């Protein structure tokens, strides 16, 4: 059975959403980020990314990790590509061409979008979004994201989804990366197809179920 290590308020959300889309049973092992624990190595500390028990699973000390019947993988987007490939169905590539496209879009999101998007999220998480430094950082990141938004906007002309005219793991992976940019409403207003596509992805029952669990966790 699939086991997902990580809290919902982390990149583990991607794997929890994917498992629900596939309709497969899974176990959840909450692993909290060490930065959220006063003393992550204390005897009574909750399981966290510096806990020896978790480092034995992922020596990088990052969440999520998955264990699928003994196969351990530790990169959230790649985890989803693997799950789609294993379990098949409409979320998986229909042929080698789609597999290439899905991998290409996923790597693009990881390299061209997520580095800037994460900085925006962290600015809000750290409460600096209204400081001069925070505003400058967010503005710089938003400017850097204009090209990526424009690329996806053009690609979505005449298409509801990224690959194969249906919701696939490519949409799920990209939607979870683009979710980090949702505070930048002007970016979405300038790219209405991206805005509509993200809303379409987030209207899915599996996403809503994942978010319901996420909102139960402390911030």
Residues in the chain: 219
At residue 105, the pLDDT reads 98
> 57 and 135 share a domain?
no
219 within some domain: no
Query: Which of 54, 69, 88 lies at the terminal end of a domain, its last residue?
Result: 88
Residue 217 lies in a domain: no
- The domain in which residue 43 lies consists of 2-88
> What whole-number distance in Å separates Cα of residue 218 and Cα of residue 50?
19
Both 56 and 125 in one domain: the answer is no
Spatial distance between the Cα atoms of 86 and 101, rounded to a whole number of angstroms: 18
In a domain, 129, yes or no: yes
- Identify whether 214 is part of a domain: no
Residue 184 domain flag: yes
CA distance 55 to 130: 36
Q: What digits encode the pLDDT tens for the residues 46-82?
A: 999 999 999 999 999 999 999 999 999 999 999 999 9
Residue 125 to residue 76: CA distance in whole angstroms: 21
Query: Longest C-alpha distance within the chain, in Å?
Result: 56
* 71 and 134 both lie in a single domain: no
62 within some domain: yes
The answer on 103 and 84 residing in a single domain is no
Per-residue pLDDT tens digits for 73-122: 999 999 999 999 999 999 999 999 999 999 999 999 999 999 999 999 99
> Would the pTM of this model clear 0.85, i.e. be above it?
yes
Q: Tell me, yes or no, whether 64 and 117 share the same domain.
A: no
Shared domain for 80 and 107, answered yes or no, is: no
pLDDT at 161: 98
Element (H, E) at 146: helix 132-155
- Output the pLDDT for position 77: 98
Check whether residue 60 and residue 150 sit in a common domain. Answer: no
Other beta carbons within 10 Å of 111: 10
Predicted confidence band of residue 192 (pLDDT cuts 50, 70, 90): very high
Q: How many Cα atoms sit within 13 Å of 42 on the Cβ side? A: 8
CA distances from 51 to 31, 57, 204 (A): 9, 10, 35
Beta bridge partners of 71: 68
Residue 131's CB is within 10 A of a number of other CB atoms, namely 12
CA distance linking residue 24 with residue 121, whole number of Å? 30
User: DSSP states of 61-130 as a string?
Assistant: --S-EEEETTEEE--HHHHHHHHHHHH-STTS-SSHHHHHHHHHHHHHIIIIIHHHHHHHHHHHHTT-TT
Q: Classify residue 14: in a domain, yes or no.
A: yes
Domain boundary among 88, 105, 136: 88
Q: What's the CA gap between 185 and 31, in Å, rounded?
A: 31
Indicate if 190 and 121 belong to the same structural domain.
Answer: yes
CATH code of residue 100:
1.20.1050.10
Note whether residue 218 is domain-resident.
no
Structurally, how many domains does the chain consist of?
Answer: 2
Task: Please check the confidence at residue 219 and state whether its pLDDT lies above 90.
Answer: no
Same domain, 196 and 103: yes
Tokens 């690959």 correspond to 163
pLDDT tens, 134-172? 999 999 999 999 999 999 999 999 999 999 999 999 999
């Amino acid at each position: 059975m699939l086991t997902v290590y990580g809290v919902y308020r982390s990149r583990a959300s991607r794997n929890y959403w994917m498992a629900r889309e596939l309709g497969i049973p899974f176990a959840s092992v909450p692993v909290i980020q060490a930065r959220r624990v006063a003393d992550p190595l204390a005897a009574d500390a909750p399981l966290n990314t510096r806990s020896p028990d978790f480092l034995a699973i992922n020596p990088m000390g990052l969440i999520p990790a998955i264990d699928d019947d003994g196969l351990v993988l530790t990169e959230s987007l790649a985890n989803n590509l693997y799950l789609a490939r294993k379990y098949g169905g409409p979320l998986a590539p229909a042929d080698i061409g789609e597999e290439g496209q899905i991998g290409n879009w996923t790597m693009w999101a990881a390299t061209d979008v997520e580095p800037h998007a994460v900085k925006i999220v962290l600015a809000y998480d750290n409460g600096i979004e209204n400081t001069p430094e925070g505003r400058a950082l967010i503005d710089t990141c938003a400017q850097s994201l204009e090209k990526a938004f424009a690329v996806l906007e053009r690609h979505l002309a005449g298409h509801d989804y990224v690959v194969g005219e249906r919701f696939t793991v490519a949409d799920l992976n990209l939607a979870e990366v683009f979710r980090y940019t949702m505070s930048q409403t002007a970016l979405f207003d300038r790219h209405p197809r991206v805005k509509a596509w993200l809303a379409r992805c987030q209207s899915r029952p599996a996403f809503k179920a994942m978010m319901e669990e996420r909102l139960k966790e402390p911030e």
